[in-house]
Structures are given as C-alpha cells and as structure tokens.
Structure 1
Amino acid sequence: MNIYAIGDLHLSNAQPKAMDIFGAHWKNHFEKISADWKTRVTDQDVVLIPGDISWAMKLEDAKPDIDAICSLPGKKIMIKGNHDYWWGSMAKINGILHGDAHILQNNCIAVGGYVFCGTRGWTFPQDSGFGENDQKIYEREKIRLQLSLDAAKKYPDCEKIVMMHFPPIYQNMKNTEFARILEQEQVSEVVFGHLHGDILKNIYLTDVSSGGVNYNLVSADYLNFTLKQIR
C-alpha cells in the first residue's frame, strides 16, 4: 500500500471556473492530476486530499466534483479547506460519497498500519489582520485536531499521519500550538496545502522536519499537478 497526497484541487464542474486566471500552468489542471493519478495509484493505495476541493457553494453543486474524485483509483480521504463552502454535515457528505471515499471531521480512519487524522486549521495569531473571530476559529481548530488524534488512540500500533489545510507551522517558526500538539502526539507525517503562487518563491516551511514530524506542502500547483508519495 502506497500513500499519496495532493491538495487544492479547486474543481468546478457544475459551474466551470477558468483556473488559468491564476496562471497558464492551471489550464486543464485536473486532467493533469487525473492522468498522473491513474498512472500511479492502485485500489490498494490511499490518496489524501487536504481541502479546497471544490469552488461550489452548495453540496448539490459540489457533487459532480466529488463524483470525479470518487471515480479515481484508491481510497480517498478528504478534509475541509477554507474555500469548501459546500461542506455540510458528515451525514450529508457521506450520502454523496462512493468509490471508497471518506472524510475526516473530529474522527480518524485506520488503513493498514496507518491511522489518518486531520482538521482544517486556521491562520495564526502572528498574522496581520488576525481578529477576535479568527481567535475563536483558531481555538476550535486546535480542539478538532486533538479530538481527531484522541480518536487515533484506539490504534496504538499504527503510524499517525495528519492532514491539515492551512500550514501548521509559521514560516521558519516550528513552535506553533498546532506543531506542539503534533509533536506531543508523535505524528510522523503532516500534509497541508493552501499556499499558492508567488508566496511559494519565498516560503520556508515546505518539506521540512521538526520535533520528529515531517511537514509536506502538497498544494496542487506546488506539485506541478502531480501527486506526492508520502509512503
């Protein structure tokens, strides 16, 4: 069993959005992702998708995008991103999933010798414009990460791999509260997305290790629209 990851698919099948407004490299981006996916992934493998799955605002509009993902090989595990406004209750989302696809929300999923946990995350108090409402979301996301990791304690012999949408470390600062939780719970790998464009030229937190945790940036454009193999 291999484990792959790619985030920020930004699909829009119901109401097509021209992604090349973000750069020519985004043209036909899902075709590139799908081609690489079908070449490398088998039904025994796991693919992690850490958020920003669909531009849709409503679940019914996100369904064609979910269908496209579900039709691809492997076990798909997804979390919510900041643009996933369509994301509703677990029951409603599970109602449209098929093809061995799953979501994480305050829970965990064990496969083989691994247990997968995750939450969306949020911006950091150090960020400009961070306000009172951001603080509430930030605190809630810390709780959700801990709940997911607590659920994983049912599988003490499994290696813990975490998905977050927002980066859990702050540029070259590794001592964030998210990082503290990840280190304390002895997580081995973290995959995250959210970062795009010019910011990638000056970012210091891509593919680094700290406190026994490996951090992997897997936003689609950073990976040139191919999957990253984690294990």
Structure 2
Amino acid sequence: MRVYAIADLHLATVTPKPMTVFGPQWAGHPDVIYERWRETVRDDDVVLLPGDLSWAMRLPEAIQDLATVAALPGTKVLLRGNHDYWWPTAGKLRSALPPGMLAVVNDAVRVGNVVVCGTRGWLTPGHDPLGAEDERLLAREAQRLELSVQAAMRLRQPGDHLLMMLHYPPATPPYPANPLTRVIDTARPELIVYGHLHGVPVERSMRHVGGIPAHLVAADVLKFTPRLLLDTGAAVG
C-alpha cells in the first residue's frame, strides 16, 4: 500500500468557477488530475485530500465531484478546506460519501497500517501578530487537532504510520511556534501534508515542523499529480 496526497482539486462540476484566473496552468485542470491520478495510483493505495475539493456551496451540489473522485483508484481520506462550503456535519457527510471515501472530522481514520489525523487549521502569526478573532479561530483549530490526535492514538497499533493533514500551512514565516505547532510537537507524526498555497515553489514552502517533514501538496504545485509520501508494504484492510 502506497500513500499519496494532493490538495486543492477545486472541482466545479455543478458550480463552474474558472481556475484560470490563478494562471494558465489551471486550464482544464480536472481532466489533467484524473489522467495523472489513473497513471499513478493503484486500487490498493491511499490518497490524502487535505481540503478544497469542490467549489460547491451545498452538499447536493458537491455529490457529483465526490463521486468522480471516488471512482478514481485508491481509498481517499478527506479533510475540510476553507473553500469547502458544502461540507456538512460529520454524520451527514459520512452518510453521503461514496464507497472508498473517508473523512477526518475532529477524529482520525485507520487504513491498513496508516492512521490519519488532522484539522483544517487557520492563519498563524508570522512577522505580524494575529488579531483577536484570528487568535480565537486558531485556538479552536488547535483544540480540534488535539482531539484528532487523541483519536489517532486510540486507533494506532504497533508499527502503524501516523500521518497528519492540515489545509492551511502549520506556520507562517519566519515560522514562530503557535498553538498548532505545539500540538504537532507533542504528537510527533511521521509527516505532515498541507495545501492552500498556490504558485509557491516547493523549495520556498515550509518543509519541516520541529524536524517533522512537512509537504505542500496543493495541486498546482504538484503539477496536478498526486505526490507519493510513503510505501507501507501493507494491504488495505
């Protein structure tokens, strides 16, 4: 079983939204993603999708995008992004997800010998401090990440790989510590994936959190090809 990741698919089957406003590389991007996904991912692999899957505003509008992604090879693990306005409560989401799709919502999932935790995240302090409202939202996301980590520890078996998804980057240059990085430092996942940032060269992205590898996996950064994170050598259970 191999584990891949790709964020920010920004699909818009029912609610068209041209992504070419962000650059010509986005022209026809859904078909490019689907083609490269099929070339790369096998049925027994896992693909992490850390946010911004669909531009839909409501769940019924997102169903077609979800079904299209579900039909691609691999087991998919979803996380909410800041543009996933369609994302409902955990119960409604899970009852609507097609087979082969899982979601992390203040909890964790286990696929084969991989346990995945995470949360959306929020703006983090960098050169400038955050305002009071952003501080509140960041603290809430840190609490949600802590809940997810606790759930992951309950699921984790000896030899399992602990992976973490965020949508927002875990920190902002010059990368001072923040509530999210403090949870990460305690949890010590094997690696972190995040999206949200577009047009940022990988070499200029945040690549470690306290020595833990961090991977920017926004679709355009990956040239719309799922990125291989690890090969576990285990079958999907």
**Do the two structures share a fold, i.e. TM-score over 0.5?**
yes
Q: 1:170 matched to which residue of 2?
A: 172
8 Å CA contact 2:50–2:167 kept in 1: the answer is yes
* Counterpart in the other structure of 1:48: 48
C-alpha distance 186-156 of structure 1, shift in aligned 2 (>3 A): farther
Percent identity, aligned pairs only? 38
Residues in 1 aligned to 2:193 and 2:201: alpha-carbon distance in whole angstroms:
19
**1:2-17 equivalence runs, <5 A:** 2-17=2-17
> What secondary structure is seen at the aligned counterpart in 1 of 2:204?
coil
Q: 1:68-83, aligned counterparts within 5 Å? A: 68-83=68-83
- Alignment TM-score, normalising by the size of structure 1: 0.92
Counterparts in 2 of 1:25 and 1:86: CA distance versus 1, 3 Å: same
Structure 1 segments unaligned to the other structure (5+ residues): none
Q: 1:2 to 1:126 in 2, by over 3 A?
A: same
Whole-angstrom distance in 2 between the partners of 1:31 and 1:45 = 20
Question: In structure 1, what is the equivalent of residue 184 of structure 2?
Answer: 182
Paired residue for 2:59?
59
Find the residue that maps to 1:195 and give its secondary structure. coil
Whether contact under 8 Å (2:51, 2:120) holds in the other structure is: yes
1:209 aligns with: 208
- TM-score, normalization: structure 2? 0.90
SS in 2 for 1:95: helix
Q: Secondary structure at the match of 2:96?
A: coil
- 1:140-151 alignment, distance < 5 Å: 140-151=140-151
Aligned 8 A contact 1:51 1:81 in 2: yes
Question: In structure 2, how many angstroms separate the alpha carbons of the residues matched to 1:191 and 1:44?
Answer: 20
Question: 1:161 and 2:160 equivalent?
Answer: no
Q: How far 1:42 moved relative to its partner?
A: 1.4
Q: 1:74 to 1:106 in 2, by over 3 A?
A: same
Q: Counterparts of 2:157 and 2:174 in 1: how far apart (Å)?
A: 31
Structure 1 residues 19 and 140, CA, compared in 2 at 3 Å: closer, same or farther? same
- 195, 198, 202: which one aligns with 2:197: 195
Give the CA RMSD over aligned residues: 1.8
CA shift for structure 1 position 177: 2.7
Equivalent position SS for 2:165: strand
CA distance in 2, matches of 1:127, 1:121: 18
Describe the SS at the equivalent of 1:146: helix
Distance 2:74 2:177 in 1: 34
Mark the CA change 1:14 to 1:128 in structure 2 (over 3 Å): closer, same or farther: farther
- Aligned pair count? 228
Runs in 1 of length 4+ with deviation above 4 angstroms?
A: none
Q: Which amino acid aligns with 1:10?
A: H
Distance 1:118 1:132 in 2: 24
Q: Is the 8 A contact 2:126 2:174 kept in 1?
A: no
Stretches of structure 2 lacking an aligned partner (at least 5 in a row):
231-237
Aligned to 1:104: 104
